[in-house]
Chain A
Amino acid sequence: MTDFLLRQMRHGVWANEKLLDRCRALTDEQLELTVPGTYGTIRNTLAHIVASEEGYLVRLLGSLLHEPPLREQDLATLDVIAAHVVHVTSAVERLFAKGSLDPDRVIADTPLRRAGAPRFEMAAWAPAAQFVYHGIDHRSQIDTILSTHGLETLDLQVWPYAMELGASREAKEDR
């Protein structure tokens, strides 16, 4: 049986890729659009999603995914963000390569902790669940920005993802 968390993380990666592809059709000016009450511009929000996901995975795996990690202050281009999505995709699969995650395993620190920053100990389920939650939250904000500015949005729910995977399909009439 495929691990449920793996399914959710794969959905998150799929949604990021779809949204990035959609945003490639935007102009530079459109990528800088925002609305009050959201994280920031479309570009910054995309970078924030992916940089955070790298952070959660580094904590879960206990090692850097690559050097250097994506930093939000770098004003990353969509190409740079897309390159980091590839790192995230690979790390998600690596996380589950040896079976299910032990949700109660205590993670004592992260290799990305800056000097002088506080150290957090946490059960592994927390960064894993945060990975799933965080992406949904911020992709929703990008959807709101696009919609507010009259730009086409995407359906990034689990329903279309499952359809694409073949895990859900319209039932035959003669059933």
Chain B
Amino acid sequence: MSTPPMLRQMRHDVWATRMLLERCRSLTNEQLQLTAPGTYGSIQKTFAHIVRANEGYLNTYGVISQPFMELTASVDEIASRLARVRDAVEQLFKSKEIDFDEKIHDERRKVDMELWVPLAQFSHHGSDHRSQIGTILTLNGLEAPELDVWTYATAEGAIADF
């Protein structure tokens, strides 16, 4: 049976956040507080925001529970929470097939919405903010890893060159 493209997308997203977080483990505490105009905030705070938001999106599907991570979390705690996110993504797609067109009431956000919306936002949100961290790193003369799908798919053996 094929792996659903949405699961591929989310695995790439979690992989990219993990790779970037690993890269940032070699930064000093001062470097983790670097930021750039037009971005969300410091590197550390942006990571926490990405993973906290991931928890929120997955909470909609009942595969992750509150409380969500604090924005002041350390890199170690962010990594630990990201592992929980990774497991929840797998759990989501192991459960019965989801009807993404189903309309739900989301009491936490006070909206009625179709079920595809938070998952699509999951993918968008992480890429958006990782891009900002990439900009902060480069702006400050620090190396930023390649996080695109080509790199991920090559590591997964899904791309070969001839």
A residues in contact (CB < 8 Å) with B: 1-2, 4-5, 7-8, 11, 35-38, 101-104, 118-123, 125-130, 132-134, 136-141, 143-148, 153, 157-159, 162, 167-171, 175
Contacts and interface: CB of A to CB of B under 8 A. Distances in A.
A158 B118 CA distance: 8
Nearest to B106: A171
B101 interface: yes
A37 B111 contact: no
Interface of B: 2-6, 8-9, 12, 36-39, 99-101, 105-107, 110-114, 116-117, 119-121, 123-125, 127-132, 134-139, 144, 148-150, 153, 158-162
Contact of B148 (A119, A130, A145): A130
A82 B143 CA distance: 34
B39 A130 contact: no
Chain B CB count within 10 A is highest, among A102, A125, A130, A157, for A125
B3 A103 contact: yes
A140 B114 CA distance: 25
A118 B105 contact: no
A138 to B, nearest CB: 8
A120 B119 CA distance: 30
B5 A125 contact: yes
